[in-house]
Amino acid sequence: MQFKILIAEDEQEFRDILVSIVEMIFVKYYPSLELLISVAGNGQEELSIAQEESQDIIITDINMPVMDGKEAVHKIRLFDKSVPILALTALTDVKDVDEIIQSGVSNYAVKPLNKKIFIAQIQSYVNLFVKSGFLYNRKAINRISKQVFKRKIIFDIDCIENIEEFWEYFLENNSKLSNDYIQDILQSIYNFELWMLKKGILNEIILEENEENYYVTISKLEQLKEGEYNEYLSLNKIDMESIKKDTNLITFLVSKNEDKEIEVEVIQEETPIEQLERELEEARELDLRYTTHEKVSAQELSDELDPSIEDKLENFEEDIDLLRLSLYDLEDAQGEDIQKSLLYVAKLFGNFNYLVENIGLFNVINRAFKSFVSFLENLEDAIIVEQDKRILLVTFIRGLVDDLEQWIVNVFLEHTTSDIHYFDASFAENCLMIEKIFLADDDEEDISDEDDDSLEFF
């Protein structure tokens, strides 16, 4: 099985070091995976490579010439929502870090890089790939093809201008197809979208393609009344041979070969049990994604939340301060007090899970909380009896607490973030990274001092 990594870094020497470290990781830990590495010297090259071929991980510097990493990531997220992206940055200001996360990265690492943390971050992504078998990417969005499309171009439709943007994009990129052929299908899609907008339904157009066909999928059909869009399709004489639909999506097929007979898979009507099984499987697959396809603003979430959630946050600052004080106690603890202090930290940390455990939108963070608390509760004394290791653990947890505080403020108190899921992947990956570092075998081989010095230099 191939595993593709794109490394974007403008410093040639540091880029070579990153390549050598990644190669070492795969030789040592994942010999069964065929590693394919692409490199880019700026954000524009990074974007071009990602558009040309889908990647399994992207490692990107933020400050690069021509196009910086934030802009490149933002544009990559327009067609690839699921690829893990690790940003490398020398910026440490909270505002700068927040902007980096908001651009669409899955996680970030601060320069100069810590060797062990960087390796753990890469391994956490590869481990998820191996464990899940990339299940979250094994199902096509469209309802016609069984082929999986990792790269997608997504158009958010909330006004007529958005539909016209899709129309123009499609025409500009398909000049070889006859106007009549394209115009007929685009007119059907345009009319259908216009009809949806008039009903106040904001949705997405998701464009996928292979060598033979384009697949244009429209979302949010579940907001229509039962049978309503079937009636629309019938009244407007839409070619039923070129579409496939279910209760949530409708896909229009556009053949690149106009003379080829279009074959659409015939699907038997689902029984209630089959429908439930399919929906459960789709939920599991969606839950494995690093990012959430549908953005939800903090204000939208606030309007739907039980007011008691915000009531519970009245003493939030005191709870954060108490957790920080407990970390000082853990840092200085001796003997039997080490385990007691660690369990107290785990308890205080776990208390914050009330924010997410009853809100279905935060499955990723919920799992990360529970897994990390369990990790702290079961951490052996021998691992943290050495003060250096204990101080390192405390330092990591302080970083999690800082991130947690910022997230609570942005999402639940000030309602400033435009996407409540910007924090999900970063928080989960940081938890996994800490667990990986402290559960690793002590006798694991390490990167040479030469590589370590080079990393610290940059």
According to DSSP, the residues that pair with 59 across neighbouring strands are 7, 86
387 and 449 belong to one structural domain: no
Instruction: Name the residue among 4, 39, 2 with its Cα closest to residue 19.
Output: 39
Is the CB of residue 121 less than 8 Å from the CB of residue 109? yes
Given 264, 287, 315, which residue is the final one in a domain?
A: 264
Domain that holds residue 73: 2-139+445-457
29 and 94 belong to one structural domain: yes
Is the CB of residue 431 less than 8 Å from the CB of residue 121? no
CA 97 to chain centre: 17
13 and 113 belong to one structural domain: yes
- Name the one residue in this structure whose structure tokens are 């990417």: 137
Q: Is 331 within a domain?
A: yes
Residue 297 pLDDT class (50, 70, 90 cuts): confident
Q: Is 215 within a domain?
A: yes
Nearest-angstrom CA–CA distance, 348 and 316: 12
90 and 181 belong to one structural domain: no
Q: Is 34 within a domain?
A: yes
Q: What angle do CA 369, 371, 377 make, to 5 degrees?
A: 100
Q: Is 435 within a domain?
A: no
Nearest-angstrom CA–CA distance, 197 and 164: 13
414 and 349 belong to one structural domain: yes
According to DSSP, the residues that pair with 206 across neighbouring strands are 154, 217
pLDDT(296) > 60: yes
131 and 157 belong to one structural domain: no
12 and 127 belong to one structural domain: yes
Nearest-angstrom CA–CA distance, 137 and 106: 16
Q: What percent of the chain has pLDDT over 90?
A: 16
Q: Is 281 within a domain?
A: no
- In three-state secondary structure terms, 322 is helix
186 and 311 belong to one structural domain: no
Which one of 61-75, 161-175, 362-376 scores highest in mean pLDDT? 61-75
14 and 41 belong to one structural domain: yes
Q: Is 386 within a domain?
A: yes
For the segment 423-452, the average pLDDT, to the nearest whole number, is 63
189 and 130 belong to one structural domain: no
More confident residue, 23 or 127: 23
More confident residue, 33 or 436: 33
Q: What is the pLDDT of residue 94?
A: 59
SS3 percent helix, strand, coil of the chain, rounded to 5, is: 55, 10, 30
Lowest mean pLDDT among 31-45, 92-106, 243-257, 364-378: 92-106
- In three-state secondary structure terms, 184 is helix
Mean pLDDT taken over the chain: 78
Q: Is 165 within a domain?
A: yes
Q: What is the pLDDT of residue 289?
A: 41
pLDDT in tens, 324-365: 999 999 988 888 899 999 999 999 988 887 777 666 667 677
Is the CB of residue 366 less than 8 Å from the CB of residue 393? no
Instruction: Name the residue among 303, 403, 298, 394 with its Cα closest to residue 352.
Output: 403
Q: What is the pLDDT of residue 65?
A: 93
The enclosing domain of 80 has a CATH number of 3.40.50.2300
211 and 309 belong to one structural domain: no
Given 245, 264, 283, which residue is the final one in a domain?
A: 264
Q: Is 380 within a domain?
A: yes
For the segment 67-83, the average pLDDT, to the nearest whole number, is 85
Residue 178 pLDDT class (50, 70, 90 cuts): low
27 and 124 belong to one structural domain: yes
pLDDT in tens, 268-279: 566 655 655 555
User: pTM of the predicted model, to two decimals?
Assistant: 0.45
Structurally, the chain folds into a number of domains equal to 3
Q: What is the pLDDT of residue 245?
A: 81
More confident residue, 159 or 451: 159
